Structure 1
Amino acid sequence: MTTPISEIMLETQRIKTLLEKEYNGAPWHGPTIREALQGISAEEAFHKYESIHSIAELVMHMTAWRQFAIKRLQGDMSFELSESNNWGKVGEQTETQWYYIQNQLESTQEKLCELLDDVEDQHLNDQVHNKGYDFYTLLHGIIQHDIYHIGQIILLKKHLLS
């Protein structure tokens, strides 16, 4: 028995589903981004170990890659990830700033998922301007990248709370 065409999920929708699951759903790999960040205070988020990024820096880095994907999907070929926007400065180390950093991640998550509703599957094969990879690789890379950083956040959180 074959699945009716109307029930086959497009690849862009499959990617969107994976993004949603690893952010705040039920991924197979373990905790979501939201679960990893739950209960982390500003003091913990901004705590800096020598030569290790803080939790706040990791969240900003994850946001930067979403911003890059959003800009490129919108056709902005001039936006590049530089050292300053890829690993930006956290600013004030307050609860308000920590809330803002988390909100930026959530906003870019929502925007990226919203954009994927309008991306045709064939666009996934298009090269990302000035990069050696296509949109399929970029979007799956963001998911894989997030999972890597979720692990780092959980380890930092465990260490901070021990």
Structure 2
Amino acid sequence: MSRIGKKPVDVPSGVTATVNGQDVNVKGPKGELAFRVHDEVVVEFKDGKVSVQPRTESKGARSKWGMSRTMVSNLVEGVTKGFEKKLEISGVGYRAAVQGKELVLALGYSHDVKYPIPEGIEIKCAKPTEILISGIDKQRVGQVAAEIREFRGPEPYKGKGVKYANEFIFRKEGKKK
């Protein structure tokens, strides 16, 4: 039995959730999100809660049960609070700045890296070495953060590069004489 899947998702006031077959639509103060639940899972909305149950007791249905409940929970959380990821840049001369609809990164290459900011995502640079990515869709926020980190991932010797704020970089010892 899925411990996560058993819990119904509470829909707070100010948020409207509609379930139409396998489609779940959630509208809140920050925007609107939709998710199509897998056919092996049943979704129903009653008494201000969205509950998810497996259609059968097969292994496939049970494995999709908890994931579907978490996806619906992320929809509700996204339209109420939103999601954010924080990236840190370390290295001499490494910096970031938002110019119009582009994030411009100086990461030690011979040229600046220009990353176009996708729709529905907001990027802020409070300091030249910090990037704050926010939006209502958890998957897109994480994907944008991963794409930015990929331009120059942290290296293990000096720790230079782009890393997540809570990420620990395992440091290696350099060459010995």
TM-score (norm 1): 0.30
Q: Which has the higher strand share?
A: 2
Query: TM-score, normalized by length of structure 2?
Result: 0.28
- Point out the structure with the larger helix share: 1
- Highest RCO, 1 vs 2 (Cα 8 Å, sep ≥ 6): 1
Name which one, 1 or 2, has greater alpha-carbon Rg. Answer: 2
